Amino acid sequence: MVQDKRHKRLKKELNLLDVYAIATGATLSAGFFLLPGIAAAEAGPALVLSYLIAAIPLIPAMFSVIELATAMPRAGGVYYFLDRSVGPFLGTIGGIGTWLALILKVAFALVGMGAYISLFVPNLQITPVAVGIAVVLGAINVFGAKKGGKLQVFLVFGLLGILGVFFTSGVFAFEPSHFQGFLDVGFDAIISTAGLVYISYVGVTKVASLSEEVKDPEKTLPRGVVLALTTAILIYGFGTALIVGLVPPAELINNLTPVASAARVGLGEFGVILLSFAALLAFVSVANAGMMSASRYPLAMSRDHLLPDVFRRLSRFGTPLPATLATLATIIVIILLFDPLRIAKLASSFQLLMFGLVCFAVIVMRESQIQSYDPGYRSPFYPWMQITGIVAPFYLIFEMGLVPVLFSVGLIALCCLWYFYYARKRVERSGAIYHVFERLGRQRYHGLDTELRGILKEKGLREEDPFDEIVSRSMVLDLGREASFDSLLQVVAAKLRTVIPLSSDEIIERVMEGTKIGATPVMRGVALPHFRSTRVEQPEMVLVRSKQGVRMSMYNPLTHEEEGEETVNAVFLLVSPEHDPAQHLRILARIAERVEEESFEREWNQAADEHGIKESLLHDDRFLSLIIRGDAPTRVMLNLPLGDITVAKGCLLAMLSRGGLSFVPDKNTTLEEGDRLTVIGETRGLAEMRAIYLPEREPGE
């Protein structure tokens, strides 16, 4: 069996602006600057309606991609989602096929610049220019996602600025008579044209393949993708209406530079130059975004042993160098040997198929009921949104004709050959669909749950997770002697039963049940027994420190028989409500993350009292410890009840230590000389309070 290795993660460098620019830049190119003329030949002025209808099937796919990306922010996008939901076979098809479809569209974008460049330099050979631009973009992407993202921001906002000028000026030359006979072509032609222009929108979700490099993906990805799709719909809606209203119908049909023709009417020759420059920005933008996204597919597949190991290597800039070079080389080969325009249109049918499978992946992940599947954003109207997203793409593929269908079948066949002759013998992994089977009495893949728990730890807590409050009110037991886990559990259960409606025997039974099936993590001398109960209203925790050690029996999770013993110096027992398993896992993940930090063991062992033990579990930037003294800035709090003390926004006076005892104070608690007060809250609020009460922090404070 191939063993998983820890892979070096990509740097989290992309913010909301970068995500928005990448998603928007991957969308606004040929769909606006080239396709309206071709669409006019099919639908006449109703092409405007076709563009709006084409956005509808994308919406379920967009919501599904966002949900999966916030639950599993990993390089590889569609490939990763399909692999972890329905297994490596469909993952291979999705990975190789989407990678190829992406680079075909990148090549299409680079070659598509030729139509606009030829307006000014008729004899220029576009192929060498396209290859040169591809090499430059490849080099930029090697130096880091941030640099590629900043280029994308410049390109997209430059494009949007020029389009703003075009839209404003074009209104004054708008000719409503061009819309006569708007629906004369019939509904079938409008729908068929919608299938043709659907490729205009598909780039908006490609940023999901960069989700591993996104800062705070649970918030950034939904906002960035939704803003990008909204921008795209507005520009395609208003823009195509403006093109129809400016360019005479006979001139618009099969016009390969429709925006330049419209700009000539609205702004004269200056407009042709300006909008041609905008077109170049758009084509370079989609090529840059496409190359960034495409290069992450070989990386992700290599991590999972579906492609050779070389593709998982990162450069010293933290970027997938071999994967980027392979993507660049394939783009150059396609530009030199094939007609990217024709092939890119065929590849759009494969993209439609992938979007349908992504919607299916959400259904699989939801129905698997894996507790560690914890998306920061959940698609609305489940499962009807996903069912629509499965059916609609197949309808559009059928409307596109036989050739796109055959192309998709051929691409799937190639992916199948690769999987059966190379990948299958290298992986022993299944998707979440086996967890659905397990509910029907078959089998499940435990490795996926482990992987998702690892992702939970990387994503960290959410704002609404009461981790700091749980630690502050937790009960502490500081043992001065060696003990067995069984005897310790008797004491801990007796303490815990005072705050939860369970008996000591019930608590012990639940903890031992989890320990025997291998559900109690043990790491770096720390054990994390835990369980959930329908009778518990809020999370509660007991912290145990034992410098002499706690002897803990280890069990075989299959036979429940003892398999040796391990000594730990800390035990954190967590009990949470049954109704929120994801929050329970996030709290456990945060504890595990803190335990793995280098500073934890030192601070835990050196803590002088119960107060210090609790603080050692908190992040330095998540709490502030103040000692009330008459000769310090904290003297303003002396002899005041907590209810009269003003704290910064987002902060809470959570814990008080007095005379060696710690407790959670209330608003009537009056502060005395020597009291130690712990403040928890947001980083900004804590910084404000630190500046007031600890302007020159003394050593050891």
Please report which confidence band the pLDDT of residue 1 belongs to, taking 50, 70 and 90 as the band edges. Answer: very low
**For residue 646, which amino acid is it?**
T
3-state helix, strand, coil in the chain (%, to 5): 65, 10, 25
Q: Tell me what pLDDT residue 405 has.
A: 76
Q: Which domain holds residue 656?
A: 619-701
**For residue 220, which amino acid is it?**
T
Q: Is residue 320 part of a domain?
A: yes
Torsion sign over Cα 378, 384, 388, 391: positive
Q: Max Cα separation, the chain?
A: 92
Domain identity same for 413 and 488: no
C-alpha to C-alpha distance for 253 and 255, rounded to whole angstroms? 5
- Give burial (CB, 10 Å; 0-12/13-18/19+) of 563: exposed
Q: Is residue 431 part of a domain?
A: no
Q: Tell me what pLDDT residue 120 has.
A: 73
Domain identity same for 118 and 215: yes
Residue 510, pLDDT above cutoff 80: yes
- Beta-strand pair 526-527/562-577: parallel
Mean local confidence (pLDDT), 238-265? 87
Q: Before 501, cis peptide (omega within 30)?
A: no
Beta carbons of 398 and 422 less than 8 angstroms apart: no
Please state, in angstroms and as integers, the Cα–Cα distance from residue 192 to each residue in 155, 397, 407, following that order: 32, 10, 18
Beta carbons of 641 and 668 less than 8 angstroms apart: yes
C-alpha to C-alpha distance for 247 and 253, rounded to whole angstroms? 10
Domain identity same for 541 and 632: no
Question: What is the CATH classification number for the domain harbouring 535?
Answer: 3.40.930.10
Beta carbons of 31 and 173 less than 8 angstroms apart: no
Q: Is 284 left (phi over 0), alpha (psi -120 to 50) or beta?
A: alpha
Domain identity same for 74 and 127: yes
Beta carbons of 554 and 545 less than 8 angstroms apart: no
386 or 398: which leads in pLDDT: 386
Q: Tell me what pLDDT residue 3 has.
A: 38
Nearest to 341 by CA among 104, 652, 154, 524: 104
Q: How many residues comprise the chain?
A: 701
Domain identity same for 623 and 613: no
Q: Is residue 102 part of a domain?
A: yes
Q: Tell me what pLDDT residue 448 has.
A: 53
C-alpha to C-alpha distance for 135 and 435, rounded to whole angstroms? 44
Q: Is residue 434 part of a domain?
A: no
Domain final residue pick, 618, 649, 665: 618
Q: Is residue 441 part of a domain?
A: no
Residue 149, pLDDT above cutoff 60: no
C-alpha to C-alpha distance for 497 and 204, rounded to whole angstroms? 52
Domain final residue pick, 370, 400, 425: 425
Domain final residue pick, 594, 618, 642: 618
Which helix (H) or strand (E) is 17 found in, with range? helix 16-25
C-alpha to C-alpha distance for 197 and 318, rounded to whole angstroms? 36
Nearest to 167 by CA among 263, 261, 232: 263
385 or 335: which leads in pLDDT: 385
Which helix (H) or strand (E) is 61 found in, with range? helix 58-71
Domain identity same for 639 and 614: no
C-alpha to C-alpha distance for 141 and 106, rounded to whole angstroms? 14
Nearest to 13 by CA among 318, 320, 459: 318
Minimum mean pLDDT among 571-575, 626-630, 693-697: which range? 693-697
C-alpha to C-alpha distance for 102 and 89, rounded to whole angstroms? 20
C-alpha to C-alpha distance for 408 and 350, rounded to whole angstroms? 5
C-alpha to C-alpha distance for 397 and 61, rounded to whole angstroms? 15
Write out pLDDT tens, residues 493-509: 998 988 888 998 999 88
Beta carbons of 377 and 219 less than 8 angstroms apart: no
Q: Is 14 helix (H, G, I), strand (E, B) or coil?
A: strand
Q: Tell me what pLDDT residue 49 has.
A: 92
- Beta-strand pair 540-555/483-484: parallel
Q: Tell me what pLDDT residue 114 has.
A: 66
Domain identity same for 264 and 180: yes
| Average pLDDT along the chain | 79
Domain identity same for 205 and 127: yes
Question: What is the CATH classification number for the domain harbouring 41?
Answer: 1.20.1740.10
Beta carbons of 510 and 578 less than 8 angstroms apart: no
Which helix (H) or strand (E) is 74 found in, with range? none
Q: Is residue 93 part of a domain?
A: yes
C-alpha to C-alpha distance for 510 and 86, rounded to whole angstroms? 33
Task: Please name the residues in contact with 393: beta carbons below 8 A apart, sequence gap of 6 or more.
Answer: 57, 61, 352, 353, 355, 356
Q: Tell me what pLDDT residue 545 has.
A: 92
Kindly state the percentage of the chain with pLDDT values over 90: 2
Q: Is residue 536 part of a domain?
A: yes
Domain identity same for 266 and 343: yes
Q: Tell me what pLDDT residue 80 has.
A: 76
Q: Tell me what pLDDT residue 446 has.
A: 53
Nearest to 160 by CA among 58, 42, 27, 260: 27
Residue 443, pLDDT above cutoff 70: no
Q: Is 577 helix (H, G, I), strand (E, B) or coil?
A: strand
Question: What is the CATH classification number for the domain harbouring 687?
Answer: 3.30.70.1450
Beta carbons of 255 and 247 less than 8 angstroms apart: yes
Write out pLDDT tens, residues 86-127: 777 877 887 887 788 778 778 877 777 766 777 677 777 777
Q: Is residue 446 part of a domain?
A: no
Q: Tell me what pLDDT residue 338 has.
A: 75
Domain identity same for 547 and 605: yes
317 or 94: which leads in pLDDT: 94
Write out pLDDT tens, residues 296-314: 778 878 877 788 888 878 7
Q: For the chain, what is the domain count? A: 3
Domain identity same for 607 and 623: no
Number of other CB atoms surrounding residue 336 within 10 Å: 12
C-alpha to C-alpha distance for 408 and 442, rounded to whole angstroms? 32
The string of DSSP letters for 521-569 reads -EETTEE--EEEETT-SS-EEEEEEEEEEEEEEEE-TTT--EEEEEEEE
Nearest to 256 by CA among 216, 228, 283: 283
Q: Tell me what pLDDT residue 437 has.
A: 43
Nearest to 130 by CA among 118, 116, 112: 112
Please report which confidence band the pLDDT of residue 174 belongs to, taking 50, 70 and 90 as the band edges. Answer: confident
- Beta-strand pair 651-658/676-681: antiparallel
C-alpha to C-alpha distance for 120 and 133, rounded to whole angstroms? 18
Q: Tell me what pLDDT residue 14 has.
A: 75
For the whole model, what pTM was predicted?
A: 0.65
Contacts of 448-454 with C-beta under 8 Å, sequence gap 24+, read 448/84, 448/370, 449/370, 449/371, 449/372, 451/84, 452/71, 452/72, 452/370, 452/372, 452/373, 452/374, 453/372, 453/585, 453/589
Domain identity same for 276 and 347: yes
Nearest to 534 by CA among 508, 512, 506: 506
Please report which confidence band the pLDDT of residue 191 belongs to, taking 50, 70 and 90 as the band edges. Answer: confident
